[in-house]
Chains A and B, each alone.
Chain A
Amino acid sequence: MKIAVLVKQVPGSESPLPIQSDQSWVDEGGIAYVMNESDNYALEEALQIKEQNGEGEVVVVSLGPDRIQKVIREGLAKGADRAIHIKTDTAGSVDPLVTASQFADALKDENFDLIFSGLQSDDVGMGQTGVIMGELMGMATASLAMATEVGDGKIKVKRELEAGWFQWVSLSLPASITIQSGLNTPRYPSLKGIMGAKKKEITVIEPSGGDAKQSLDKVYVPQSEKQTVMIEGSVDQQVEKLVDTMRNDIKVL
């Protein structure tokens, strides 16, 4: 079983997000980056499938500038066998048709049985790359996976539907699956894993071209939809005012 896992480096949930003066993107200098949350779950799922099968290969694939080698190393330290870095000068295009084509071109001769990716990135959040790749590579696709079972040349995926509903879908291999957060417990890299990662191979390749068919016109901080009453003061004052608000304004006490 040969599994590719697409991982993306994105700003952490606590990171500041300064906007560039021309409003074209965030100012990358001020950002603390992490591995995209659902990609971390996708990686864990791939590692578990390999471990259960007792054989196979997990390859981390990422696209972006040099800074993304941090998440590539993290993937290798957790147990991926090798990595492919599609190297760009900038953060890359926001158009998933472009990025998915670049991933598909990079992987077309690898003959992966499975391509796993996170459901969507926590930065732009287009949520399409893994699904588009499946189409471009002639694979079956399923999104929002909450569990997987691999066997007999197939993968069974428990798909999350809306409002607490689920559905099992069986796909023939090869298949591209997008993974929902929460389906497993991602591991932390061990010290041995971190040391071992240094010897693992990272193949750096150039991206293929492609014209973006959508772009960001302007990035900005949203205006508040509501007038929010802020309750200020010391902790004790805040608590006192909160009780007062619940009693006299919301009238629930």
Chain B
Amino acid sequence: MDILIILEDNNGNIHRMGLESIVAAQQLGSELGLSTGALVMGANADALAEEASQYNVDEVIKVNDPLLASYSADGYSEAVKQIIEQENPTYVLFGHTYQVRDYAPRVSAKLMKPFLVDNVALSTEGGKVVFTKQMFNAKLFSDVIPSGEGPYLVSFQSAAFSADNAASGSASVREGSVNLDASMIKTESEEPFQEEAGGVDLTSADLIVSVGRGIGKEENIPLAQELAKALGAELASSRPVVDAGWLPSAHQVGSSGQSVSPKMYLALGISGAIQHVVGMKGSKNIVAINKDPEAPIFEIADYGVVGDVLEIVPKLTEALQ
């Protein structure tokens, strides 16, 4: 096959970003006339293969191997490398999940083939395949091109493609096999766990006031708390605020925190790094206040205020009371 899609297990279902990479593969395949296939592996390979076969791909390969039953970077990178060598695709597509970040660079190193990561778009204009990536915390974009012989490993950022656009079909499923040895796996993993959420459920909030690094210091957090209170909103934050210890992690919105879609998301001093944006861009109305007119948050805001949050927020609270 020409395009191999690597699908990830998310508790027995295909990870949403895997479905998004099926859409990318379908676009690339139809524009360039290339065949597509999907790889599933792990403890739930049978169920994942069944789910994958309902999409418009040419075939699905499932790998059942006891050493892949639970995830390890050693096992998964070796298995994917061997399947690539067997199938010899030109493109290998991934969702840019945390698991992919953990093992796919090792596949790249094993094969000495490039891994073009975290792309937001692809173009095949004039037969030239170009991938687009954000740089400098989304302030600039870059078109990235692979060189030399394939295969090229490529991952896509969350929501670069909409999973709803995945064309359905009925693909054949075949068993793939890899040659793994227990001595290859140098890590031991414990069960995944969630930290205490602290009773903050942002996912069902109608109104959210969210603070970023632009709030300046911990002593300024009450300004945002008072505004949230005046609006009847929940208080959220971006990662740097949690990292600095100004708010507990239960308040964090973004790829490593909660994903929210309130009626209004009021972003105070949030620059709009992609790790944050993926958790809130589904909000119905995004209002951003930031002193930097170039801040990427204004790219996705419905309403923007260029100004100092420390000046605006107290006056806004007063006006609302």
Contacts and interface: CB of A to CB of B under 8 A. Distances in A.
B192 A211 contact: no
Majority secondary structure, A binding face: mixed
A199 interface: no
A172 B187 CA distance: 7
B302 A228 contact: yes
Interface in A183-205: 185
B73 interface: yes
A213 B114 contact: yes
A9 interface: no
B194 A166 contact: yes
Interface residues of A, number: 77
Nearest to B242: A182
> Which of B97, B143, B195 has most A Cβ within 10 Å?
B143
Interface string B100-122: 01110110111011111110000
B136 A123 contact: yes
Given A214-B116, A240-B319, A131 B106 contact: yes
Contacts of A142: 73, 102, 187
Nearest to A157: B187
B194 A164 contact: yes
- Interface size of B as a range: 35 or more
A22 B106 CA distance: 33
Interface string B122-144: 00000000100111111111111
A235 B118 contact: no
11 contacts: A13-B213, A128-B117, A144-B98, A162-B97, A169-B187, A181-B243, A214-B116, A216-B143, A216-B144, A217-B142, A224-B299
Interface of A: 11, 13-14, 17, 19, 26, 95-97, 100, 122-128, 131-132, 134-136, 140-144, 159-172, 181-182, 185, 211-222, 224-226, 228-232, 235-236, 238-240, 242-243, 245-246, 249-250, 252-253
Given A125-B135, A220-B143, 10 more contacts: A97-B109, A131-B103, A132-B109, A141-B106, A165-B192, A181-B243, A231-B304, A246-B264, A250-B263, A252-B264
